[in-house]
Amino acid sequence: MDSTIVYIDESEVRPGQLDEVKSAIDALVALIEPSEPQLIAYSIYLDESARRMRVVAVHPDAASMELHMNVGGPGFRRFEKLIDLRSIDVFGAPSDNVRRQLDEKAKMLGASARVTIHEPHAGLARLVRRAR
């Protein structure tokens, strides 16, 4: 069974906070990039109106996601007054510790945010990493 984990979250950018959100995004990526070489993909998207933000991360395995939650945790706090987290969807099998951390993140960034874990049934992944 494929051990890849795909993480997607969706948030609303609070009015008047777009510049701060962009700054926080840049700081978070700068924190994660050198500390998580195993991370396959980490992308943050803003919609055309810049009111909705989505984060998409692809981890090779549960250990990668656990490291990401520990490394990125301090950076997530910077978003507390900038966004309203609506949902977190995880496709794969994260550890119990990561599940707990995701619940804490959801409470911190969005009082009514939902966390949904989509357990794998079948599949495969053919992910190719670029040479560094």
Domain ranges of the chain: 5-118
Is residue 126 very low, low, confident or very high in pLDDT (cuts 50, 70, 90)? confident
- CA 24 vs. chain centroid, Å, equals 14
Q: How many CA atoms does the CB half-sphere of 13 hold within 13 Å? A: 23
For the segment 24-28, the average pLDDT, to the nearest whole number, is 96
For the segment 6-18, the average pLDDT, to the nearest whole number, is 97
The CATH number that domain 5-118 falls under is: 3.30.70.100
* Better pLDDT: 124 or 119: 119
The tens digit of pLDDT for each residue in 44-74 reads: 999 999 999 999 999 999 999 999 999 999 8
What's the predicted TM-score (pTM) here? 0.91
Q: Classify the C-alpha dihedral 80-111-8-91 as positive or negative.
A: positive
Nearest-angstrom CA–CA distance, 62 and 60:
7
